Amino acid sequence: MSEPIAVRATPELTFRYAAGQYGSRFLEGLREGRILASRCPRCPRTLVPPRIACTHCSGRMTEIAEVSPCGTLLAWTLVAFPFLDPFTGVQRPIPYCYGMVKFDGTDNTFQYFLSEKDPTKLRVGQRVKAAFREERRGELADLLHFAPAGD
Amino acid sequence: MTGVSILGAAQTRHVGRRDDANYMELAFEVVEELLARTGWTHDRVGTVIGASSDFWDGRTISEIAIQDAAGAAGKSASKVSMDGAFALVYAAARIASGAFQTCLVVAHGKASEGNPRKIANAGFDPLYQRPLGIDDHAALGLQARAFLEGRKLSPSALAESAAQSREAAARNPNAHRRETRHVLEADPLHDDEIAPDSDGACAVLLGASTFGGVELAGFGCATDEHALGARDLGQAGVLPKAAQEAYRRAGLGPREIDVAEIHDASSAQTLLWREGLGVACPVNPSGGAMGAQPGFATGLVRVLEAYERIVRGEARTAIAHGMTGFVGQAHCVWILRRRS
Amino acid sequence: MNVAIIGSGQTNHRSRRLDVNAPELIDEAVQAALADARLAPDGIDAIVVGNMEHFEGIHLSDLWAGEGTGAVGKPQIKVATGGTTGSSLAQAAYYLVASGFYRTVLAVGWERLSDSEGETTTGIVTAFDPIYERPTLAGAVSGLAILACQYQAKHGTKPEEAALVVVQARENAAKNPHAHLKQAVAAADVVKSPLLSSPIRYLDMCPTSDGACAVVFTSDPGDRRCAWVRGVSSRHNHTYLGDVAEGAADFIHTLQLASADAYRQAGIRDPRNDIDVVEMYEPCTWAALDWAEAMGLCGPGEAAGLWASGTARIDGGLPINPSGGVLCANPIGATGLIRVAEASMQVRGTAGACQVADVETAVATGFGGSFWNEVMIVGARKS
């Protein structure tokens, strides 16, 4: 058989994702330098980021409340392989480190960048604090990273 | 007879843009309302089947976002990547198998977050059809032309059908209110002869028939060829086959159907699918998909509208019809029946 | 109603199958399944098909590829749930037959990951929240790395120990004509391979493959050799990765719950001894350790011992992934179905050089989504 033929076809699709009622509040909070959570009065549960459905009862979370930017690191990973970022269409800069942090007073973990890029320096239970950028625009990037906070 | 019944249903008001809510929140709204209407709670719902489109949502495995909203975390759950009418088949099978007593089906479509025409173009064969720039509206135009010529009808038949759909939709508080200008969009179809792109969601609670409710008497599904040139677009394709399977399972015939809710993506389809179903009854009192077309929720909304007419005593039997693919490549026909 | 698997077929999974288009790829698996089931195409009453359309770049890919599955004129329902697609297909086929709606259902899964030209991670990143999760997530790799980090922190398991999972997988895959990666590796190779997302290294992680798989489910097997479905379960999870991580108050170990449910249905009380072979959906070595424990195959922190001791070998006390598993072939839309196919082959005695002796009960798992898990148990006896 002659050489197999492959045809390149790139659907160029862009999306406008609605942040929704709860996400919009969270992003406004970030612009103000605050971490906001949603609360379910029944269970009770306090969850970051805020969202409409409680993870315990699937009922409506009815309040938004500010929580401390301090928390506990529960897991982390150093990302070291190249891949295309679906947002930018170019390779995401590597290596970078992110972790799962439980903000004080909340009932779940939040995933974000860590300032520490050496995984051997991290440990489960370590205290960390969210740092904000100076100039904020109401987007997740208003958060710079979690930095070690001392014990 | 499936042994499965509809215990309740809820839908959002369908609109052009819900910028105030992401699709997780749309699904939550409709599930919250369904539970409120039926008095059921999440812990009494055995399993969950979703219907959603990854391309429309701009997310792979887009179903992930609705898990907590639908009470699916910690439960056996799955989804169908097709119109909600097809999801209903899987949902009913889960109950009929005896493994579950109840199943929540939730479908959503948020047309406003992506570009439905470009998404549709991505659904055509990449070698032979996509390069033509074809999309769902263009395909509807081809079908409408084939339909008019095959039946020797004038385009005014489309305008009349569209007017009837509009009048019915005007009486439906959940229909998508939109502005149209009666301009040609996909010759011979004008903008008001093509179903809108809507944001909306729908949820239905199914249960074993021992719980009561409106009976799911029968269903039928069938799939046609993909390539537009492989079928006669002016005919009803595999719809009669799907309908026949539904009539056989339900043990009744087309003349016994009191009302039909049809998924009509164009005014030509309102006429063509009615013919394919073989019914003589009123069609689309809700306005049909011509009144609101929230993606994969559209067929489930047809089920809801059929269900409500039976519950209100306006009908004893009803058809609810859903589609996936372009110009009716896959059809799913449900027959609902009031229990005696 | 009792449901049996009477046949299965797979392609030979490869990095790139440029010699066939998707319908042709699917057709290879479907023809093999029909031949194995001794069934003509018109013996199929309905089809369930799965594929992740974003990876293919084809919206409604199932409708486009219908000529491959034999869908034209038939009922065909698409079930695409990410990594669990294949296991979800098996479940859907089972319920459609068990319900009495259809007598014989063909489950077909496929993926041509080579079509997305190496952007599988990019696609998987889009599965998660565009605002909160995509900026940090590096696909399935980093999601699993978080799990591996926690497992390692809890049990102190060394990378060389986790590596034994893929060492064994490759040894098994060398005997499996369908497997994609067959080359032997040593633990030393694994721990020196490039870091993907700590602690997961390149050789710890599954490949991306082009391939297809088809399985025939029926309530009317006649005199055919069957693998009877004895247990079917699935457990879904929360939406955000921060909610499914250990440490979140509503953390659910979905595989533990799904296994317990399926075991109960199948009458399995002592998994380690009642199960004859496991085809586990293990996308990386570390996950295999956590999940062997979740399935009750050993105690907490003891999973590495299953591989180190040779228990997991094809001729060992509890063979795990005699086919080579996901670590040796991963055509995403088919992968979970391949687990079911391989489990059914073990029961029916058609696993060739990978055959485990005296199999009565085989367990297949599927993983994906926001840490969903699915379990199907097949056995030589109807009940």
Average pLDDT, 10 consecutive residues per value, chain B (340 residues): 95 95 96 98 98 91 96 98 98 98 97 93 89 95 97 96 98 96 96 98 98 97 95 97 98 98 98 98 98 98 98 98 97 96
Closest CA to A49 of A3, A108, A122, A128: A108
pLDDT band at C383 (very low <50, low <70, confident <90, very high): confident
Output the DSSP codes for A6-45. Answer: --------------HHHHHHHHHHHHTT-EEEEEETTTTE
Q: What one-character DSSP code corresponds to residue C313?
A: S
At B279, list the tokens.
């019914």
Return the minimum-mean-pLDDT range out of A5-14, A141-150, C295-304. Answer: A5-14
Structural domain includes residue B78: yes
- Does A151 score more than 70 pLDDT? no
CB contact under 8 A, A77 and C149: yes
**What domains appear along chain C, each with residue ranges and CATH number?**
4-118+212-218 (3.40.47.10)
Q: How many domains does chain B have?
A: 1
Interface of C with B in 26-85 (CB under 8 A): 46, 50, 52-55, 57-60, 62-64, 66-67, 71-82
At B317, list the tokens.
């039997």
The tens digit of pLDDT for each residue in C257-283 reads: 999 999 999 999 999 999 999 999 999
3-state secondary structure of C304: helix
Q: What distance lies between CA C127 and its chain's CA centroid?
A: 19
pLDDT band at C55 (very low <50, low <70, confident <90, very high): confident
The tens digit of pLDDT for each residue in C159-179 reads: 999 999 999 999 999 999 999
* Closest chain C residue by Cα to residue A118: C198
Q: What one-character DSSP code corresponds to residue A116?
A: -
C121 part of contact set with chain A, CB < 8 Å: yes
pLDDT at C122: 85
Domain ranges, ordered by start, for chain A: 20-148
Which of C46, C126, C252 faces B60 most closely, judged by CB atoms? Answer: C126
Q: What distance lies between CA B199 and its chain's CA centroid?
A: 14
pLDDT band at C113 (very low <50, low <70, confident <90, very high): confident
Mean pLDDT calculated for residue range C342-358: 98
pLDDT at C34: 98
Query: Is the whole-model pTM more than 0.95?
Result: yes
Amino acid (1-letter code) at residue A101:
V
pLDDT at C118: 65
CB contact under 8 A, B64 and C127: yes
pLDDT at A1: 61
Structural domain includes residue B235: no
Q: Which residues of A touch C200 (CB under 8 A)?
A: 77
Q: Looking at residue B36, which CATH number applies to its domain?
A: 3.40.47.10
The tens digit of pLDDT for each residue in A18-53 reads: 888 899 999 999 999 999 999 998 999 999 999 999
Structural domain includes residue B99: yes
B112 part of contact set with chain A, CB < 8 Å: yes
CB contact under 8 A, A140 and C196: no
The tens digit of pLDDT for each residue in B33-45 reads: 999 999 999 999 9
Which of C131, C134, C198 faces A77 most closely, judged by CB atoms? Answer: C198
pLDDT at C354: 98
- Mean pLDDT, chain C, rounded, equals 96
pLDDT at A87: 81
Mean pLDDT calculated for residue range A109-128: 96
Structural domain includes residue B184: no
pLDDT at A131: 98
Amino acid (1-letter code) at residue B241:
K
Q: Which residues of A touch B119 (CB under 8 A)?
A: 11, 13
Q: Which residues of A touch B127 (CB under 8 A)?
A: 7
Spatial distance between the Cα atoms of C257 and C252, rounded to a whole number of angstroms: 8
Instruction: Give the minimum alpha-carbon distance from A136 to chain C in angstroms, rounded to a whole number.
Output: 15
The domain of B12 spans 4-114+197-210
Which residue numbers of A have CB closer than 8 Å to B's CBs? 7, 9, 11-23, 51-55, 57-58, 60
pLDDT at B87: 98
Structural domain includes residue B320: no
Which of C76, C127, C252 faces B73 most closely, judged by CB atoms? Answer: C252
User: Given 3-state DSSP classes, what are the helix, strand and coil percentages for chain A, each rounded to the nearest 5?
Assistant: 10, 35, 55
3-state secondary structure of B54: helix
